[in-house]
Amino acid sequence: MKPVIRDLLLAVLLTSTQLVSSQDHLTNQQLIQMVELGMGDAIILSQIENSNNDFDVSTPALLVMKRSGMNDAVLAKVIEAAKNTSRKVVDPNDPMAAHRPGIYYKDAQGNMVELMPSVTSQSKSKGALATRLSYGIAKTRVVSRIPGAQARTQFTGDEVFYFYFNQQNAAFDQSSIAFYGFQQAISPNEFVLAELDASAEARELETGSANNYTTELGIDEKHARPFEIEQLAPGIFKVTPSYLAAGEYCFVYSGAAPYGHTQQKVYDFGVGKVTGEGIISKQ
C-alpha cells in the first residue's frame, strides 16, 4: 500500500472514530458523514452493529440518507437497529420521544417534567341558604376542594404542555397507566382546562349547581379556558393554553369530571409572576 493512500485511510478512520465517540450513540447525521467521507459498507455496518443509536427511520429521514449515497443494505440495517429497543437511545427531554402516558412540561433547564395529579379532598355545597331565602331561585353550588392555597407546580405564564397517550409508537402496559383519564382518553380534546377558585385553605372547582327548577352537573363553562392542540405524532400532542391570568388551574378529564361527594384526580398548576427575590407571586 502506498504511503499516501495509507495515510488517507488512517485519517478517514480517525475521523470516523471521532464522529462516533463524540456522542455515546449513532445518529442519522453521523452515518451520512461517514458515507460522504467515502467509508465502505463493511465499516458502516460494523459501527451500526456495535453502537447504540438514536436513528430516525421515518420516510423523510430515509430519503435523506438514500440521497446521501447510502445503499439499501445499510438502510435495512439502520431500520433493524432502530427497532432494537436494547440499543435504542432515547432523549427523555425530546417531546417526540415516547413517554409514559400523562401530561408533561419543560422546566427552565429544558428538561421534560411530568405534571403530577392531585386528589380532591372533599366536596361541599355552597349557597344553600341563598336558595332557601330566594324561594328556590338562587342556585346552590357543589364544589370539589383541593387542599392548599397553591399548587406545588407554579409557572410564570406562556406554558406549553405535552400530552402522551397509549397510542404512541411505543407500547405501554395498560395496567401501569394509573393516572386518571389516560386509560380512556386518546386526545386532549377529552380534557377541560379549568380555573380554580382559590382561598387561603384550598382551591375549589365548581362541579355542579341546582335550584328548584334546574340541575346542572359538570364543570361550569365560566371556569373553562381555551387551548390549542397540535398533534406531533400518534399519541403525542402539544397543548398551548390561551392567555392565562395569574391564578390556579387544572386539567380535568371531562369523560368523568369530578362531581359531588366523590374524590377525583386533577392535574393542577398555578400561574403567577416572578418577583425580584425569585418568588412566584399571584399579585
Q: What is the mean pLDDT of residues 81-87?
A: 81
Cβ atoms of residues 44 and 74 within 8 Å: yes
Question: Hey, what amino acid is at 270?
Answer: G
Residue appearing with cell numbers 495509507: 6
Q: Any idea where the domains of the chain sit in the sequence? A: 3-83, 102-281
Share of the chain above pLDDT 70, in %: 70
Phi–psi pair at 165, nearest 5 degrees: -115, 175
SS3 211: coil
Q: Is the pLDDT of residue 100 over 60?
A: yes
Report helix, strand and coil shares of the chain as percent, to nearest 5: 25, 30, 45
User: Among 138, 125, 158, which residue's Cα sits nearest to residue 227?
Assistant: 158
Cα–Cα distance measured from residue 51 to residue 42, given in angstroms and rounded to the nearest whole number: 14
Cβ atoms of residues 41 and 63 within 8 Å: no
- Per-residue pLDDT, 135: 55
Q: Which of the two residues, 166 and 192, has the higher pLDDT score?
A: 192
- Per-residue pLDDT, 84: 83
Residue appearing with cell numbers 397507566: 177
Q: Is the pLDDT of residue 263 over 80?
A: no
- Per-residue pLDDT, 14: 44
- State which H helix or E strand residue 106 sits in: strand 102-106
Q: Is the pLDDT of residue 79 over 80?
A: yes
- Per-residue pLDDT, 19: 43
User: Among 61, 268, 60, which residue's Cα sits nearest to residue 149?
Assistant: 268
Q: Which of the two residues, 31 and 170, has the higher pLDDT score?
A: 31
- Per-residue pLDDT, 174: 62
- Per-residue pLDDT, 83: 84
Cβ atoms of residues 271 and 244 within 8 Å: yes
Torsion angle defined by CA atoms of residues 234, 238, 239 and 243, in that order, rounded to the nearest 10 degrees: -160
Cell of 178: 394509573
- Per-residue pLDDT, 103: 95
Share of the chain above pLDDT 90, in %: 37
Strand partners, 116: none
Instruction: Provide CB contacts within 8 A for 98, sequence distance 6+.
Output: 90, 164, 168, 169, 170
Q: What is the pTM of this model?
A: 0.66
Question: Is the torsion defined by CA of 118, 256, 238, 160 positive or negative?
Answer: negative
User: Among 248, 242, 250, which residue's Cα sits nearest to residue 194?
Assistant: 250
Task: Determine whether 255 is exposed, middle or buried from the number of CB atoms within 10 Å of its CB (0-12, 13-18, 19+).
Answer: exposed
- Between the ranges 77-86, 109-118, 133-142, 197-206, where is the mean pLDDT highest? 109-118
The predicted-structure confidence for 224-262, as pLDDT tens digits, reads as follows: 999 999 999 888 999 999 989 999 999 998 876 555 555
Q: Is the pLDDT of residue 20 over 50?
A: no
Strand partners, 280: 274
Mean of per-residue pLDDT scores for the chain: 79
Q: Is the pLDDT of residue 268 over 90?
A: yes
Question: Hey, what amino acid is at 81?
Answer: A
- Per-residue pLDDT, 181: 72
Cβ atoms of residues 119 and 65 within 8 Å: no
User: Among 197, 200, 191, which residue's Cα sits nearest to residue 267?
Assistant: 191
Question: Is the torsion defined by CA of 199, 204, 210, 214 positive or negative?
Answer: positive
Confidence of residue 276 (pLDDT cuts 50, 70, 90): low
